[in-house]
Structure 1
Amino acid sequence: MQTHLLKLTITTFLLLITPRLFAQKDFQGKAYYQTKTALDMSRFNGRQISEDQKKRIVTRMKSMFEKTYTLTFNQTESIYKEEEKLEAPGTGGGRWRAMMSSFTAGDLYKNVKEQLLLQDQEFFGKQFLIKDSLLQLKWILGSETKQIGTYTCFKATATKVNPDFDFNSFRRPPDREKGTEEEPEKTEKRSEENEEHRTVEVEVWYTPQIPINQGPGEYWGLPGLILEVNTGRTTILCSKIVMNPDAKDKIVAPSKGKEVTREAYNKIVKKKTEEMRENFRRGGGPPGGRRRR
Structure 2
Amino acid sequence: MIKSIYSKLIIATGLLFFVSVCSFAQKDFQGKAYYYSKTSVDMTNFGRPGMSEEQKKRIADRMKSMFEKTYILTFTQSESIYKEEEKLEAPSEGGRGGGRFAMMSSSFTGGPQYKNVKSKELLQDQEFFGKQFLIKDSLPQYNWEMGSETKQIGKYMCFKATATIQSNAYDFTNFRRRPDREETNNKKQDSVKVKATNKEENTTREIKIVAWYTMQIPVNQGPGEYWGLPGLILEVNTDKTTILCSKIVMNPEEKSTIKVPTKGKKVTREAYNVIVKKKTEEMRENFRGRGGRGGGNRRS
Range into which the TM-score falls when normalised by the shorter chain: 0.7 to 0.9
Which amino acid counterpart does residue 229 of structure 2 have in structure 1? L
Unmatched tracts of structure 1, length 5 or more: none
CA contact (8 A) 1:173 1:277 kept: no
CA contact (8 A) 2:158 2:214 kept: yes
1:272–1:191 CA distance, 2 compared to 1 (3 A)? closer
Matches within 5 A, 1:79-158: 79-90=81-92, 93-158=98-163
CA contact (8 A) 2:36 2:69 kept: yes
CA distance in 1, matches of 2:88, 2:61: 14
Q: What displacement does 1:161 show?
A: 2.0
Q: What displacement does 1:284 show?
A: 8.6
Matches within 5 A, 1:59-74: 59-74=61-76
CA distance in 2, matches of 1:208, 1:174: 50
CA contact (8 A) 1:37 1:235 kept: yes
Which amino acid counterpart does residue 211 of structure 1 have in structure 2? P
Identity %: 65
CA distance in 2, matches of 1:186, 1:262: 30
The answer to whether 1:202 aligns with 2:209 is yes
Which amino acid counterpart does residue 98 of structure 1 have in structure 2? M
After superposition, give the CA deviation of every residue in 1:108-133 in whole Å (9 maximum; x if it has no partner): 00000000000001111111101100
CA contact (8 A) 2:209 2:237 kept: yes
1:177–1:45 CA distance, 2 compared to 1 (3 A)? closer
1:278–1:180 CA distance, 2 compared to 1 (3 A)? farther
1:214 match: secondary structure: coil
Deviates more, 1:82-91 or 1:62-71: 82-91
CA contact (8 A) 2:160 2:212 kept: yes
CA distance in 1, matches of 2:220, 2:239: 23
1:58 match: secondary structure: helix
Q: What displacement does 1:252 show?
A: 0.5
Q: Tell me what 2:268 maps to.
A: 261
CA contact (8 A) 1:30 1:242 kept: yes
2:44 match: secondary structure: helix
CA distance in 2, matches of 1:79, 1:203: 22
CA contact (8 A) 2:41 2:175 kept: no
1:196–1:10 CA distance, 2 compared to 1 (3 A)? farther
2:173 match: secondary structure: helix
Task: Tell me the TM-score normalized by structure 1.
Answer: 0.85
Matches within 5 A, 1:1-293: 12-13=14-15, 15-18=17-20, 20-44=22-46, 48-90=50-92, 93-169=98-174, 171-177=176-182, 183-191=190-198, 193-194=200-201, 198-283=205-290, 291=298
CA contact (8 A) 1:110 1:118 kept: yes
Deviates more, 1:124-133 or 1:267-276: 267-276
1:115–1:42 CA distance, 2 compared to 1 (3 A)? same
Unmatched tracts of structure 2, length 5 or more: 1-6
2:102 match: secondary structure: helix
**Which ranges of 4 or more aligned residues in structure 1 deviate by more than 6 Å?**
8-11
Task: Give me the CA root mean square deviation.
Answer: 2.9
1:114–1:279 CA distance, 2 compared to 1 (3 A)? same
CA distance in 2, matches of 1:152, 1:229: 15
Q: What displacement does 1:13 show?
A: 4.3
2:60 match: secondary structure: helix
CA contact (8 A) 1:210 1:225 kept: yes
CA distance in 2, matches of 1:122, 1:195: 24
